[in-house]
Amino acid sequence: MCARYGLTDPRLLANRFSLPGEVAGLAPRYNAAPTQRLPVIVQRGANEVEAMRWGLIPASAKDLGIGGTLINARSETVAEKPSFRRPFRTRRCLIPATHFIESGETPRGRPPHVIRLTDAPLFASAGIYDENARVADEPIRSFALLTTAPNGLVEHLHDRMPVILRPEDEAAWLDPDADPRDLHALLRPYPAEAMEAYAVSRLVNSPRVDTPEVLRPLVA
């Protein structure tokens, strides 16, 4: 499960995702957590950035709390699960990030690790979103992050990792006319040789701590 990630420089979004104009009003995030409102990229004729709640609340849901259990969607079954299959067909998004975090909670006490790309300062994970008008006075848009099997780097830290899309595949993922059957080929582990991981303190385990301090390498 991927339950933490960050976007340390939102200013990068406009150029990276061909957004119209500069992106304003977004603060750096170092330790983003489920239920928080976070920026995602959607395609409505042109790419747009929109803040949505992390944790999918399907359109049919009657309970806001379900979002806390649907923060990730397994890429292998996303087209089949009742909560995910409609968003997968019609409501796909990109989740921009500069890093993701694995908590490292193991019986032997392994520390958390920050994982990032070595070949780019910013990446996009595959996501799906939905809109629910039943659980609150105003409609809520929310998203889930797709996961896949880990690559050779991440497998030492967790048995899943986010689906990090290659830049050349992002337009296909957002394309509303794409055949969902063709999209499964995009849902694969990112190359391990283009990533790095380093240990950090357990400050990241608290969603209340969202400062650069959580990204400081742990001194042995």
Task: Tell me the two tokens of residue 70.
Answer: 């649907």
Q: What is the pLDDT of residues 128-156, one digit of tens each?
A: 999 999 888 899 999 999 999 999 999 99
Q: What is the pLDDT of residues 32-77, one digit of tens each?
A: 999 999 999 999 889 999 999 999 999 999 989 898 999 999 999 9
| Average pLDDT of the chain to the nearest whole number | 93
Task: Tell me the two tokens of residue 112.
Answer: 């958390």
Domain borders along the chain are 5-215
Yes or no: say if 50 and 39 are a contact pair by the CB < 8 Å rule.
Answer: yes
Q: In the chain, count H helices and then E strands.
A: 4, 13
- From residue 94, alpha-carbon distances to 108, 154, 164, 214 in Å are 35, 21, 9, 24
Q: What is the pLDDT of residues 21-30, one digit of tens each?
A: 778 889 999 9
Yes or no: say if 127 and 52 are a contact pair by the CB < 8 Å rule.
Answer: no
Task: Tell me the two tokens of residue 128.
Answer: 């799906």
Res 175: pLDDT: 95
> Class for domain 5-215, per CATH?
alpha beta
Residues 6+ apart with CB under 8 A from 164: 117, 123, 124, 125, 190
